[in-house]
Amino acid sequence: MSLPVARILHRAARGGPGADDHVALTHEARFLRRRVLETAGGLRFLADLPQTTSLNHGDAFELDDGRRIRVRAAAEDLLEIAGPDLTRLAWHIGNRHAPCQIEPARLLIARDHVLRKMLEGLGASCREVCEPFAPEGGAYGHGRTRSHAH
């Protein structure tokens, strides 16, 4: 028995068509080109995209039979950062090329004891949380860079 194949990716859009099911993926797992995935409803399908793609929460796969599978950001272990100068803290995180979700009152990064120690040394308060992670993409269209090679 062959798996249904998803060859089309629909980017998240307000009021877009509904989905028949969903797949919850971590930030790292949302970066893919070809992989077998399993939905919350137990459907296994092959994601076969033309190029490696960074998926966002709300995007959807379209299977070869027309069904749509929505992408959801899965809960993962993160570090919540707060402090009086989030701009400065965000700069230090970015200087280390760590993915960071930026919100008005907090920053979120993957748990990392070295970054935590550095941030606390800069006056941040850090708290472990488990929630979906949607860090900022790259300014030059390279949402997954971690080096100066961009």
Residue corresponding to tokens 């979700």: 101
In terms of residue numbers, what domain contains 113? Answer: 76-132
pLDDT tens digits for range 81-125:
999 999 999 999 999 999 999 999 999 999 999 999 999 999 999
Q: Which of 73, 97, 112 is the last residue of a domain?
A: 73
Q: Same structural domain for residues 41 and 85?
A: no
Query: How many CB atoms are closer than 10 A to CB 82?
Result: 15
**Residue 150 resides in a domain:** no
What backbone torsions phi and psi does residue 61 show, to the nearest 5 degrees?
A: -90, 145
Separation of alpha carbons 127 and 81, rounded Å: 7
What pLDDT is stored for residue 145 in this prediction?
47
Give me the number of domains the chain comprises: 2
Q: Same structural domain for residues 103 and 50?
A: no
pTM: 0.81
For 44, 46, 69, 92, the CA distances from 111, given in Å and listed in that order, are 30, 30, 29, 15
**Residue 145 resides in a domain:** no
Question: Which CATH number is 92's domain given?
Answer: 3.30.70.790
Mean pLDDT of 6-31: 83
Of 129, 136, 141, give the one whose Cα is nearest residue 27.
136
